[in-house]
A and B are shown apart, each in its own frame.
Chain A
Amino acid sequence: MNIVFNNDSLEVQTIDASGGFFQVVDKIGFANADGEEGFNRISTSYVYQNEPNPQLSDYALVLYAYLNRSKDSLPTIPVNINGENTREDSDEQDYNKVAFKFNVEIVDDGWYTIYGFLLPVNTNSGIYFNKTTKKVMDASSGDEVAVQSLIDKQGILSAKIEKFITVGIERKLYDYIGMLADIGVVKGYNDKDYLSLQQKILFIDAQLMGSIIKFNDGYTYKAQETLENLKNSFPFMKLK
């Protein structure tokens, strides 16, 4: 079977407004050129006993997320993920209409890496996902498989996406902008308190914008460093 599962198969769709989590949704599913529905683009679908295969319930999508740090001395932080790994309950045969959705906890602002694995649930397969224990197992040894070895293993359908989360700082920034308006009402926009807060806001805005641009340009470590620096500068800025 030639199922395609790659970095394009996962997407961060929504970020919780209160900054609690962001949602990763899969984009597995489409139709072949001949119109047959199947898993992914090339030679992946077949009809067995009048049923299109593979079934969505034959596979589990397993995600792991990490918050990265700019320095090696700082460890990456494993992040909690809540979602449904398997789709056995779904009667839907059009895979385009069914999606796995996972909420990834936002433990802090920064650079997140999300690893996704599309694993069979059949316990006879080499590496499989145990639906009961929710663990990835090796059928031959009977042991649980660690994430790092999953990443390194050949023949496992995996994807990796990266996301730069700045919702915490943005919320703070908008809080300050709101305060700026309040000070403007009370003291006017030429008051020193107004101007001082305005400068702080511009500092945050500039740093934030810079880090996002860096991240989008692929300088992930630099972006993370700028963001960490910005977060560390908050106490010194004496913002209420």
Chain B
Amino acid sequence: METKDKINDFLIAARLKIGEISELIKNNARFGKDVQKWVMDITDLRLFIMAVESPFNDWDELDMLKRIDYVSSRFNLYKPVNYDIDWLARFRPVKTLLKEPEITMDYIYKNVSAKNLIYEPGENAKWGSGELYINEALDFMMGKITMESDFLRYKVTNQDILNLPNQEMEIISHPSQGYITQVSELFVVLNAGTTLFNDTTLRLYFENQGDILHIFDLNSAENQYFIAVPGVGFSALKLSVLPGEENPVNGTGTLDIYYKYRYVKLASDNIPI
């Protein structure tokens, strides 16, 4: 999604949220409840809207995205995103499932309860009963559907990079037991003030069981970000550094790695049903 689309969505969602919170205030204030928190929430939302929509804000693209992300997640501005696959929005509650290296039916029955299946109380509850979610978890187990992670960010600190000549750094690691982990989206942002690349190259690469699959070299301060072509199956995403001849890594600066990945169940696997 382009930044301007994200801004559009944000401004609409934030305004709707103000309306929503004002309803809460109305409903609670009449019974004498303390509504100060909500009043301040609206104040914050109003400030953020004002800053985002103004032509005079001096935020760069990264700042804009970061800040919109913050406000969006703090106020839960968006309903679950539909990534062209209907199941995803409904599948979010079983996020804990995604992080388990081994998914078994036992695991599903132990961990997937009606309580954490419902994304949000209230209007979204109608999406389905716990049983429905379990059916979808089963669909994943059967290889019929794919699951996608939320957007995640990995912050690489300056100290991390200074340590890199001697070691590689693992950004994502998946043992891939019974399913393939694929890149869904990936981009890297070199934060302002980064001077790491005078004579060195930062190398970001995907590995699958020890084999290097795709390499992305960041060797210019002008490379603000790049986007990987999705669909690379991998077991780890790693960062290393190739020091230059003259200049060891001695710059300052940090990187943010934003990524999203999805699981694809191996169809041939034995499924313990």
Contact = CB atoms under 8 A, between A and B. Distances in A.
B34 interface: no
Contacts of A18: 58
A72 B54 CA distance: 34
A178 B55 CA distance: 14
Interface residues of B, number: 19
A38 to B, nearest CB: 36
Nearest to B41: A189
A201 interface: yes
Interface string A184-214: 1100010000000010011001000000000
A137 interface: no
Q: Provide the main secondary structure of the chain B interface.
A: helix
Given A170-B54, A198-B44, A201-B47, A178 B70 contact: no
Interface in B24-50: 40, 43-44, 47-48, 50
B270 interface: no
Contact of A174 (B44, B51, B70): B51
Interface size class of A (residues with CB under 8 A): 20 to 34
A180 B57 CA distance: 14
Nearest to B63: A178
B56 interface: yes
Contacts of B57: 171, 174-175, 177-178
B56 A178 contact: no
Contact of B74 (A17, A184, A198): A184
Contact of A181 (B40, B55, B56, B66): B66
A173 to B, nearest CB: 8
Given A17-B55, A180-B44, A182-B66, 15 more contacts: A15-B56, A170-B54, A171-B56, A171-B57, A174-B50, A174-B51, A174-B54, A174-B57, A174-B58, A177-B48, A178-B63, A182-B70, A185-B66, A189-B44, A198-B44
Interface of A: 15, 17-19, 167, 170-171, 173-175, 177-178, 180-182, 184-185, 189, 198, 201-202, 205
